[in-house]
A = this chain, B = another copy of it.
Amino acid sequence: MSEAFSAWMKSIQVLMEEALGEFLPAPTEKPARLHEAMRYAVLDGGKRVRPLLVFAAGELFDAPKSELACAGAAVEMIHAYSLVHDDMPCMDDDELRRGKPTVHVKFDEATALLVGDALQSQAFLVLTEGEGDAVRKLAKVRLLAEASGSFGMCGGQAIDLDSVGVFLSRGELEQMHRLKTGALLRASVLLGAWSGKQLSSDETAALDAYARATGLAFQVVDDILDATADSAVLGKTAGKDAADNKPTYVSILGLSESQALAEKLRQDAHHALKDFGSAAQRLRELADLIVDRKN
């Protein structure tokens, strides 16, 4: 990772922490316990991969920072709500997330349920905030709603639930992940790009190919880490997938072929950006970050 990229990443993470802190209800406002739990779920955690994608794609199309902060906050709230609900006992039943007790452990299950629900509403609210064209904002609401719903993230989780103990082909596994994590990662790239100038169809196709490869790489690496890292480094319970009898890239392809696939997807992501030149450097570095990450 270059020093310039590392500094850029840090600056976006700091900016996003501030933006999220402002876009979330203050902990002093009633109902205070709910607001405290919403902030606990979102703030001070994670690498902010989705907002980083928003900013990297946005900067490629000269998007204003304030609009990128709205888009980044919205997509991060959706991501955070999905983690809170995912961790609940009726789903993955996880007690540890980003090295901290999960929301239902720290607070209680009913609060975790409401935190997720309220964060989703808040995400759509944030997308309507700030200056900017109503047509563009509405397109973003539509994109985020599609990426979150039953043909996106929630649909992927439903397939995931139905796959426990089931043999999935590689194609089925890929389809599940395209919905479960890919849809929101793709939305991040497009939300960023749409905050700038109007895209040509070639540019849209290139970004889509980039987002597709990067999104899938993210999941392949997730599966590799779940099989190889320990919980302390991962910040969540490692080895869960095998324990839960869930199909993963590692269980289907084996470890070394999974690693080769992650490498190939990194190259696909780079290749998709070939016509953008040096302006797409941040997106390239993010693809590298996603493949090389250790947690």
Whether A145 contacts B125 in the complex (CB less than 8 A), given A113-B88, A116-B117, A150-B118, comes out as yes
B142 touches A138 (CB 8 A): no
Instruction: Kindly state whether residue A244 has any CB partner on chain B within 8 Å.
Output: no
Q: Which positions 147-201 of chain A face chain B at CB distance < 8 Å?
A: 148-152, 154-155, 157-159, 161-162
In the complex, the answer to whether B149 meets A121 with C-beta atoms within 8 Å is yes
Q: Do B124 and A110 touch (CB < 8 A)?
A: no
> Which residue of the partner chain B has the closest CB to A135?
B134
- Assuming the contacts A33-B162, A110-B161, asked whether A85 and B134 have C-beta atoms less than 8 A apart, the reply is no
Q: Copies per complex? A: 2
Given contacts A31-B162, A117-B116, A134-B134, contact A122 B109 (CB under 8 A): no
A118-B34 in contact (CB<8A): no
- A145 contact from B88, B122, B161, Cβ within 8 A: B122
A288 within 8 A of B: no
- Are A145 and B118 closer than 8 Å at their CB atoms? no
Establish whether residues A125 and B110, one from each chain, have CB atoms under 8 Å apart when the complex forms: no
1/0 per residue A104-117: CB within 8 Å of B?
Answer: 00001111111011
Chain A residues with CB under 8 Å of chain B are 25, 29-31, 33-35, 38, 81-82, 85, 88, 90-91, 108-114, 116-118, 120-122, 124-125, 127-128, 134-135, 137-138, 141-142, 144-146, 148-152, 154-155, 157-159, 161-162
